[in-house]
Amino acid sequence: MRLLLLVVAICVGFVGMEKSAEAQNYPWCAMMNMGDQVVNCGFTTFQQCMGTVTGIGGFCMQNNTYQPTFGSYPLIRRRYPY
């Protein structure tokens, strides 16, 4: 009985570890001038990025490695004339 309980606990532990860690993927990057060129691609909107670089120098650009995940776009219902 103890062996069965141990096996079940180990299986539950493996199921909990199933999802692997993934890097964050955001569409906007801030290129900041702080002595050296610093790049931060952690912004979901252009306004967030501009709020960061305002006052410290730099600019915002789209992340060319950004790949949207499923569900990141709102559902758009198209109306078709009948």
The string of pLDDT tens digits covering residues 37-79 is 889 999 999 999 999 999 888 999 999 988 877 665 555 666 7
**Are the CB atoms for 32 and 59 separated by under 8 Å?**
no
Q: Is residue 43 part of a domain?
A: yes
Domain of 60, in residue numbers? 24-65
Q: Is residue 40 part of a domain?
A: yes
Separation CA 30–CA 43 (nearest Å): 8
Tokens of 21: 């860690």
Q: Is residue 75 part of a domain?
A: no
pTM higher than the cut 0.85: no
pLDDT exceeds 90 at position 29 = yes
Separation CA 45–CA 58 (nearest Å): 16
Separation CA 52–CA 60 (nearest Å): 9
Give the per-residue pLDDT at 72. 55
H helices within the chain, ranges in order?
2-16, 46-53
Q: Is residue 11 part of a domain?
A: no
Number of domains the chain is built from: 1
